[in-house]
Amino acid sequence: MTEQTQSTPIEGDEVRALRQRRGLSQSKAAKVVLVATRTWQQWESGRSRMHPAFVELFRLKTELQAAPKPEPVAQPHVWPERDDEI
């Protein structure tokens, strides 16, 4: 099943499942979207609903963090020119 962008807030168990699929604790998940841990806990418990903008932000940021880092490209060494070679 693929995750889809939604235009309505998601339910608490969906928030929990989203976090668990990323392998994050509540406090780390909260830091990803720059909210208090208590806010994340309220989203998961269903006391408040996670706005779709936070859902999208969380998905984007966690997908970017999970993406493999590109291999560094070796740069050829360029020797500085000497003034006395003129």
* 54, 30 Cβ separation under 8 angstroms: no
**Residue type for position 7:** S
pLDDT value at residue 71: 72
pLDDT value at residue 63: 86
Domains in the chain, CATH or no CATH each? 12-65 (1.10.260)
Using a cut of 0.85, tell me whether the model's pTM lies above it: no
User: Which of 82, 12, 76, 67 has the alpha carbon at shortest distance from 44?
Assistant: 12
* 24, 43 Cβ separation under 8 angstroms: no
pLDDT averaged per 10 residues in sequence order, the chain, 86 residues: 60 93 95 96 95 93 73 73 65
Which residue in the block uniquely carries the two structure tokens 């490209």? Answer: 73
